[in-house]
Amino acid sequence: MGNALRFLYGNCCKPTTQEYGYGYGVPTYTDGLSALVHDIYHFETTSQVPEGLGRHVVSSKKAQANWYKKLAEAWKAAKPPPRTPDEAARLVILTLKNHLKADVEGLLAYYGLPSPQALVQTSELLPPSNSHPPQGVKFELQTLPVDAKAVADGDTVTVYVNTVDPREAANLPRDVKLAATQRAKARAVRDYVKADALQKKIVDAGYRVLTGPNNEDILARKYRIRLRGIDAPESSMPFGKEAKDEMTKLVQGKCLRVLVYGEDRYNRYVGDIYCNNKFVQVKYLNSKPLFHIV
């Protein structure tokens, strides 16, 4: 397991009395988050799931092992890893969203973590823009309206941010700004060959000239966003098309607020997305019943 799990296991998972108790094999830890981290780490080293979990869920031990394998991978990929019961519950829900609802809710109950319904009530609203950003947020984006074609699948969305935004303006390369100006002049005299060449230069630099609502040119920076905590099936996989369609419904034509936590190995920005004062990941999770993958 990764260093994050080892750190949390060593610093958070300290039993208050005996390691197992209450007759169900539930670790007697100070909180459910620590117990969950312990069991994920234990599974990584022994491939064993908690004995008492079967009393709370409906699926077999083989299925349970699959859950812990997925949770271990999701926890390792989370940056930062969950630090509160709410964050841990959200990771469980998003990681196991394609499994039986009774199993997901049973797993949460086993660790005493918040239910999906409780999370929706407490987490759906957008953090005020004038408040301190959540722990781990690197920066924030305010996007232009999202095109349907920008939704690659159920967990990846391409967004654009206007370069008049103060953060973008401060980091806009001089040659990109010049290319955008020259492109506008080339189009004005119908020199489309030159204009297309300049557009390619702009695109290669990670920017694009978009058409605004009044047919004006908007120079924007491109960002590929990987939704934090979401592991949706690929488009070619079972429920992949449904996942993409649901995400498209949530963000198409909308301006988004994105809280960026970092980058993944594919150079995508990992973040939380908010739309119309709603947390998109939670809305996405609750847009359809949990699927069961056999």
Give the pLDDT confidence score for residue 126 in this predicted structure.
45
Residue 6 pLDDT more than 60? Answer: no
What tens digit of pLDDT does each residue of 30-57 get?
468 888 988 998 898 899 999 889 999 9
What pTM was computed for the model? Answer: 0.56
What tens digit of pLDDT does each residue of 229-269 get?
777 777 777 777 888 888 888 888 889 999 999 998 889 99
Average pLDDT, the chain: 79
Of the candidates 90, 183, 228, 268, the residue annotated as catalytic is 268
Domain-wise residue ranges, the chain: 32-125, 139-293
Give the pLDDT confidence score for residue 287 in this predicted structure.
58
Assess contact for 65 and 47: CB atoms under 8 A: yes
Q: What is the mean pLDDT of residues 104-125?
A: 73
Q: What is the mean pLDDT of residues 184-201?
A: 95
CATH topology of domain 139-293: OB fold (Dihydrolipoamide Acetyltransferase, E2P) (2.40.50)
Q: Quote the CA–CA distance of 11 and 210 in Å, as a whole number.
A: 49
What tens digit of pLDDT does each residue of 215-228 get?
889 999 999 999 88
Q: What is the mean pLDDT of residues 146-153?
A: 87
Give the pLDDT confidence score for residue 98 in this predicted structure.
76
Q: Which of 49-58, 134-143, 187-196 has the lowest mean pLDDT?
A: 134-143
Of the candidates 226, 228, 246, 257, the residue annotated as catalytic is 226
Give the pLDDT confidence score for residue 131 in this predicted structure.
53
Closest CA to 275 of 292, 256, 293: 256
Q: What is the mean pLDDT of residues 101-129?
A: 71
Confidence of residue 149 (pLDDT cuts 50, 70, 90): confident
Confidence of residue 114 (pLDDT cuts 50, 70, 90): confident
Assess contact for 99 and 289: CB atoms under 8 A: no
Q: Which residue has the higher pLDDT, 5 or 62?
A: 62
Give the pLDDT confidence score for residue 119 in this predicted structure.
59
Tokens of 205: 């630099």
Of the candidates 124, 140, 234, 263, the residue annotated as catalytic is 234
| Annotation says 228 is catalytic | no
| Annotation says 257 is catalytic | no
Q: What is the mean pLDDT of residues 186-196?
A: 95
Give the pLDDT confidence score for residue 25 in this predicted structure.
34
Q: Which of 118-122, 183-187, 196-200 has the lowest mean pLDDT?
A: 118-122
| Annotation says 226 is catalytic | yes
Give the pLDDT confidence score for residue 85 in this predicted structure.
83
Confidence of residue 22 (pLDDT cuts 50, 70, 90): very low
Q: Quote the CA–CA distance of 140 and 243 in Å, as a whole number.
A: 25
Residue 185 pLDDT more than 60? Answer: yes
Buried b (16+ CB within 10 A) or exposed e, 22-57: eeebbbebebbbbbbbbbbbbbbeeeebbebbbebb
Q: Quote the CA–CA distance of 138 and 136 in Å, as a whole number.
A: 6
